[in-house]
Amino acid sequence: MLGSYKEVMWPRLVANKILRKSVGSNNFVADFPPDADGLLLEAPGLVDEQPSFDSKSIFVNQHKTTNLNYKVHVSTWNVGGIVPEDGFDMEDLLETHKTPCDIYVLGFQEVVPLRASNVLGSDNNKVSAKWNSLIRETLNKSVATSDDRNKGINGVSQDFKCIISKQMVGILITVWVRGDLRPYIRDPSVSCVGCGVMGCLGNKGSVSVRFRLHETSFCFVCNHLASGGRDRDGRQRNSDVIEILSRSTFPRGTYLEDLPKKILDHDRVIFLGDLNYRISLPEEKTRLLVERKEWKTLLENDQLSMEIMNGQIFRGWQEGNVTFAPTYKYIPNSDLYYGCIAYKKDEKKRAPAWCDRIIWYGNGLKQHEYTRGEVKISDHRPVKAIFTTEVKVLRYSNKIRDLFFSERFEDRIDGYDQIDSKDYSWIST
């Protein structure tokens, strides 16, 4: 069967390689159409108005700024091609009651098995719809059970909405925000890069999403990099990262402003996924150190940690302290690492490794939690992180408000000062 696929797809593969064509379209799924409220989402009710003068210069010169703080949950999980059952409990991954957040970003790898029919065929959107349905149910569970249906945890609205969901073969990234933040989300878009067969198919690669919250741009990159424990596999992972950073591109935006086109040009950048970096030690020694929980020694030989420290392809990137056990490779539905019991002679040996990671670039993000989950249906354990970030908000001058904005705008911004002056005492320092 794979042979017939190769015969049909070979010309297309060659063309894609030559043209450096990205896999996947720019379309994505969301609860609302992109920029449904028009160009000036900070000013509801003015969707169709077009300024007849140099509006950009007036906007730049006639405003003042303030900052709001938001909590961001990021998680990544290689689910090993397992489709979740109805009622699957997502609370271990989302922790909505333990650490409620304003924004949730979830990245998955291998939401479908990486066989030829899935890699070369169209995406199975039923699987991503299933994951999104479970996420929606979990995030909004407190709304359905609360006596006050307009309020959720800590008195903050929990009517979460999906602003972007995009799948490329087995890679899925989905972004959810509080319903009252949705009007302040602008310019959502996606960029897919395939790094698999011939460097272009989507069995490996990335799906990047970007959006702006108020005046701050965010970019989240969900990755599945080359696998394998050989030296050349490590070099291929580095090559994948270079390709992802160079080939991912976003629209420039509207006439009012220029928007970041490349990943690293955004204000806040988070890189997540099954990065597949391994531990550069013999398998037997790696297993012994894992058994003894000697994380420090293992991390000194962890390929990703060394790449960040050496500052080559990951110059300027940061990762929180890794204080949890390696997330790969487990025997599914157990706490046992693969290879710790008898296995067939023709099966590959795979030493434990921290394949699943979350790292970030530049300033503006402060990480408060970096842990792993304990869901056991896959051969990977999920990894999750919680950040706080400051977001810039424009307060326009009286002149601009009189020209463009209804009085409701100042009411909404003033209301946000109250909403976001929340108690952050739960955050560890």
**Tokens 């006050």 sit at which residue?**
148
Q: State residue 429's pLDDT score.
A: 32
Question: Helix, strand, coil shares of the chain as percentages rounded to 5?
Answer: 30, 25, 45
**Tokens 């550069």 sit at which residue?**
280
Does residue 426 lie within any of the structural domains?
no
Does residue 424 lie within any of the structural domains?
no
Q: Which of 232, 196, 245 is nearest to 24 (CA)?
A: 196
Does residue 87 lie within any of the structural domains?
yes
Residues of the chain with pLDDT under 70: 1-24, 34-63, 116-119, 121-123, 142-158, 197-200, 253-257, 341-348, 396-429
Query: Letter for the amino acid at 389?
Result: T
Cα–Cα distance measured from residue 103 to residue 254, given in angstroms and rounded to the nearest whole number: 25
Report the b/e string of 232-246 with b at 16+ CB within 10 A. Answer: ebbebbbebbebbbe
**Tokens 């424009």 sit at which residue?**
394
Does residue 429 lie within any of the structural domains?
no
Token pair for 66: 């303030």
Helix H or strand E encompassing 412? helix 408-419
Report the b/e string of 118-151 with b at 16+ CB within 10 A. Answer: bbbeebbeebbebbbebbbebbbbbbeeeeeeee
- The domain tally of the chain equals 1
Q: Which of 118, 213, 217, 132 is nearest to 168 (CA)?
A: 118
Range of the domain at 217: 2-419
- The tens digit of pLDDT for each residue in 72-114 reads 999 999 999 999 999 999 999 999 989 999 999 999 999 998 7
Q: State residue 255's pLDDT score.
A: 58
Does residue 246 lie within any of the structural domains?
yes
Q: State residue 34's pLDDT score.
A: 62
Cα–Cα distance measured from residue 64 to residue 387, given in angstroms and rounded to the nearest whole number: 26
186, 260 in Cβ contact below 8 A? no
Q: State residue 395's pLDDT score.
A: 74
CB atoms within 10 A of CB 197: 18
Token pair for 319: 């990762």
**pTM given for the model:** 0.81
Residue 136, domain CATH: 3.60.10.10
Identify each DSSP E strand in 85-204 by its residue range.
Answer: 103-109, 160-168, 171-178, 185-194
Does residue 427 lie within any of the structural domains?
no
Cα–Cα distance measured from residue 19 to residue 17, given in angstroms and rounded to the nearest whole number: 6
